[in-house]
Amino acid sequence: VNFVKENLKKIKSESSGSESDRQIEEEGPPIQKERKGLPIFEYRDELLAAIRDHNVLIVVGETGSGKTTQIPQYLHEVGYTKYGKIACTQPRRVAAMSVAARVSYELGVKLGHEVGYSIRFEDKTSEKTIIKYLTDGMLLREFMVDPELNSYSVVMIDEAHERTLHTDILFGLIKDLARARSNLKVLISSATMDVEKMSSYFDDAPVFVIPGRRFEVENYYTKAPEADYLEAAVITTLQIHVSQPPGDVLVFLTGQDEIEQAQEMLLTRTRGLGTKIGEMIILPIYATLPSDMQARIFEPTPEGARKVVLATNIAETSLTIDGIIYVIDCGLCKQSSYNPRTGMESLIVTPISKASARQRAGRAGRVAPGKCFRLYTLWSYEHELEENPIPEIQRTNLGNVVLILKSLGIENLVKFDFMDPPASETLIRALEELYALAALNDEGELTKLGRRMAEFPIDPMMSKCIMQAHKYGCVNEVITICSMLSVGNSIFYRPKDRALHADNIRMGFARPGGDHLTLLNVYNQWEESDGSSNWCKEMFIQYRSIQKASDIREQLLELCERVEVEVNEDPCSDCNLIIKSFCSGYFFNTARLHATGLYKTVKNQHSVHVHPSSVLFKDLPRWVIYHELVLTTKEFMRQIIEVNPQWLLELAPHYFKAEDLEDDSFKKLPKNRHK
């Protein structure tokens, strides 16, 4: 590996404490002083020199050293923004928003002016924007509009070690672009990574290392495997709180549900602790948390209190919270997992890698020596965890990126320069799916329909629904439903103490046909209430979620206009057309109720169950299409609609054969069991 020489010298002489000869300018306001205290600051000039001398540079530095917030500012300070914007990608939406907010604050400008962010369904940038934080997926989309990224002078692919699907695709595109555009600076930055692999992939690009300041972190393991890690996490938190010296706690859990559960458990159990014990401030952080709530994790902890941050792996490297001394690591994370044979994708709780475990522990040693409580055994750490995480590209459905790559004119995907290629099975599967959706023709070329579908930053199955709705004149209804589906599982609020009441109200919204039409009904009634938050309270609807759906709807409306998809003004009176639109996109997700009383997917006879939250739960239809599968105790279908198998045959002729959709197994069922 070709390390940048001066930098390496610097690292070696670092311990001797040699001060750089650069004059530190006048102190300025406190925030500027804070900036100068970050580890990266000493290397500012050398870093800038290395960027000047090399078109592609790999930057490695400990989390919290200042890469994400400082490098774009340094580049701006020395004038790169005169030649174009600076893009900095983040794999996570929350990180893009939070970092942009921080940098605009440091620069003393309004967020969305000079410094902005762009994430799916939300663009907070303007004509003025010169430093733009964006998700890797959004930069990928920008390639579709401007394949040379001519409006940028610098592109920084940040958090590269996360190896998300979009980051990996960007690697291939950027590598190519860097060869073509000599005036583009490319930075690949990350916390830890396989430097050698990264460097050799980018034509032996030099590596610039920013040494971190790190304190010792002591790891503790459980003696035996934990039966209930959530309970263990809560107990460990409480033990730290009552027995350990001051310092904040960061708890790694796998998802929102779990975080909310832990929050509730901690609240109940601290109630009885009395006044001798200091206050415990419990703060959740996960991807879909509203941004005002996110900001709270950065607020300093008041004297005598202890902050407990309950986080997903978002806090592993992309966000740095100061003051953390204790880390509790459950050793798991939620990961997408895809089976190309069955075409099924689901989120599965999976053991993390050793590299992630080390990152998590490292979060405890930023300000002082820390402690990390691993809720698994040392044996398990040594023998059961993989060395590195598996790149997302090797465990996810590729439908969406294949569509994007095709629309970028990349015809032969097998020849695409992947850092780690996806399984060829997965690629073929994606091509087959796009063919079944009529987005590709039998030569594998993008069809007119496919080209329009690619314009939407959503799953091809969903964009197909919108295109079909265009034919039927029900785009308005379909995009409302798509927006509601996109906010995930958080529209209905179901407090434990009033669960029955909430369920009754939810069933009051039910519409024949199923969950999709029910969501449409909820949205329409909310609009009739003028978007009232009181109405939401009464109806056990989460105001923030439905508002978010409304934002997404606005964005989809704009996109429709751009792609010239007409939106009907009068309501569509035929519900079947709405359902058929969904059939045309989601026909892969067809399941049939068998005589056994169980559902099986039509194509591969996989057993699936109706989620209890579905309005169809008590009256199971014969044929359904589900929006997604979630694996908890069983494999559940979430958001289902009842469909007519004839429609499937009509709308997905490349996919189904008539015999797939025969339902004679049903004749054996008692008549009144199903409609």
Chain residues binding ligand ADP by CB under 6 A are: 38, 61, 63-70, 98-99, 101-102, 298, 320, 322
15/224 Cα distance (integer angstroms): 41
The 10 Å CB-count burial string (b at 16+, else e) for 77-96 is eeebbeebbbbbbbbbbbbb
Kindly state the smallest distance separating residue 90's Cβ from ligand ADP, in Å. 10
User: Of all residues in this chain, which one has the CB nearest to Mg ion in the complex?
Assistant: 68
Nearer to ligand ADP, 295 or 428 (CB): 295
Kindly state the smallest distance separating residue 66's Cβ from Mg ion, in Å. 8
Nearer to ligand ADP, 64 or 331 (CB): 64
The 10 Å CB-count burial string (b at 16+, else e) for 166-189 is bbbbbbbbbbebbeebeebbbbbb
Q: Is 243 helix (H, G, I), strand (E, B) or coil?
A: helix
Q: From Mg ion, ligand ADP, none, which one binds at residue 320 (CB under 5 to 8 Å depending on kind)?
A: ligand ADP
* 68 binds Mg ion, rule: CB under 5 A: yes
Kindly state the smallest distance separating residue 307's Cβ from ligand ADP, in Å. 13
Kindly state the smallest distance separating residue 36's Cβ from ligand ADP, in Å. 12
Q: Which two tokens stand for residue 57?
A: 């540079």
Cβ atoms of 377 and 221 within 8 Å: the answer is yes
Nearer to Mg ion, 65 or 407 (CB): 65
> How many chain residues are in contact with Mg ion, going by CB under 5 A?
1
Q: From ligand ADP, Mg ion, none, which one binds at residue 38 (CB under 5 to 8 Å depending on kind)?
A: ligand ADP
Which single residue is written with the structure tokens 């540079």? 57
Length, in residues, of the chain: 675
What lies within 8 Å, CB to CB, of 639 at 6+ separation is 485, 514, 515, 516, 519, 614, 626, 627, 628
Kindly state the smallest distance separating residue 89's Cβ from Mg ion, in Å. 11
Kindly state the smallest distance separating residue 380's Cβ from ligand ADP, in Å. 28
Ramachandran quadrant class, 488 (left: phi over 0; alpha: psi -120 to 50; beta: rest): left
Kindly state the smallest distance separating residue 67's Cβ from Mg ion, in Å. 5
Cβ atoms of 502 and 493 within 8 Å: the answer is yes
* 65 binds Mg ion, rule: CB under 5 A: no
Nearer to ligand ADP, 72 or 457 (CB): 72
* 313 binds Mg ion, rule: CB under 5 A: no
Nearer to ligand ADP, 67 or 85 (CB): 67
Q: From ligand ADP, Mg ion, none, which one binds at residue 70 (CB under 5 to 8 Å depending on kind)?
A: ligand ADP
Nearer to ligand ADP, 63 or 468 (CB): 63
Kindly state the smallest distance separating residue 320's Cβ from Mg ion, in Å. 7
Q: Which two tokens stand for residue 219?
A: 């790891």
Cβ atoms of 364 and 327 within 8 Å: the answer is yes
Q: From ligand ADP, Mg ion, none, which one binds at residue 61 (CB under 5 to 8 Å depending on kind)?
A: ligand ADP
Q: From Mg ion, ligand ADP, none, which one binds at residue 84 (CB under 5 to 8 Å depending on kind)?
A: none
Nearest to 461 by CA among 639, 604, 634: 639
Kindly state the smallest distance separating residue 336's Cβ from ligand ADP, in Å. 24
189/156 Cα distance (integer angstroms): 7
Q: From Mg ion, ligand ADP, none, which one binds at residue 323 (CB under 5 to 8 Å depending on kind)?
A: none
Q: Amino acid letter at 444?
A: G
Nearer to ligand ADP, 187 or 419 (CB): 187
Kindly state the smallest distance separating residue 68's Cβ from Mg ion, in Å. 3
Cβ atoms of 249 and 306 within 8 Å: the answer is yes
Q: From Mg ion, ligand ADP, none, which one binds at residue 585 (CB under 5 to 8 Å depending on kind)?
A: none
Nearer to Mg ion, 68 or 407 (CB): 68
Kindly state the smallest distance separating residue 71's Cβ from ligand ADP, in Å. 8
Q: From Mg ion, ligand ADP, none, which one binds at residue 465 (CB under 5 to 8 Å depending on kind)?
A: none
Q: Which two tokens stand for residue 289?
A: 């948390």
Nearest to 468 by CA among 570, 549, 576, 569: 576
545/656 Cα distance (integer angstroms): 36
Q: Amino acid letter at 1?
A: V
Nearer to ligand ADP, 38 or 410 (CB): 38
Nearer to ligand ADP, 212 or 645 (CB): 212
Kindly state the smallest distance separating residue 551's Cβ from ligand ADP, in Å. 22
Q: Which two tokens stand for residue 28?
A: 């300025």
Element (H, E) at 13: helix 5-13
Nearer to ligand ADP, 59 or 572 (CB): 59
* 90 binds Mg ion, rule: CB under 5 A: no
71/44 Cα distance (integer angstroms): 8
The angle at the Cα of 467, spanning 466 to 471, to the nearest 5 degrees, equals 110
Strand order in the sheet with 122-124: 122-124, 115-119, 131-135, 85-90, 152-157, 185-190, 56-61, 207-210
For residue 368, report the phi and psi dihedrals to the nearest 5 degrees.
Answer: -165, 170
Query: Binding segment for Mg ion among 68-76, 177-185, 281-289, 390-398 (CB under 5 A)?
Result: 68-76
Distance from the Cα of residue 543 to its chain's centroid = 22
Query: Binding segment for Mg ion among 60-68, 240-248, 382-390, 404-412 (CB under 5 A)?
Result: 60-68
Kindly state the smallest distance separating residue 46's Cβ from ligand ADP, in Å. 16
Nearer to Mg ion, 68 or 118 (CB): 68
Nearer to Mg ion, 37 or 272 (CB): 37
Q: From ligand ADP, Mg ion, none, which one binds at residue 69 (CB under 5 to 8 Å depending on kind)?
A: ligand ADP
Nearer to ligand ADP, 106 or 503 (CB): 106
- How far CA 625 is from CA of 183, 490, 602, 628, in Å, comes to 50, 20, 10, 9
Kindly state the smallest distance separating residue 58's Cβ from ligand ADP, in Å. 14
Q: From Mg ion, ligand ADP, none, which one binds at residue 104 (CB under 5 to 8 Å depending on kind)?
A: none
Q: From ligand ADP, Mg ion, none, which one binds at residue 493 (CB under 5 to 8 Å depending on kind)?
A: none
Q: Which residues, listed in sequence order, are joined to residue 63 by a DSSP beta bridge?
A: none
Distance from the Cα of residue 270 to its chain's centroid = 32
Q: From ligand ADP, Mg ion, none, which one binds at residue 322 (CB under 5 to 8 Å depending on kind)?
A: ligand ADP
Cβ atoms of 91 and 162 within 8 Å: the answer is yes
One DSSP character per residue, 103-115 reads HHHHHT--BTTTE
Where do contacts with Mg ion occur on this chain (CB under 5 A)?
68
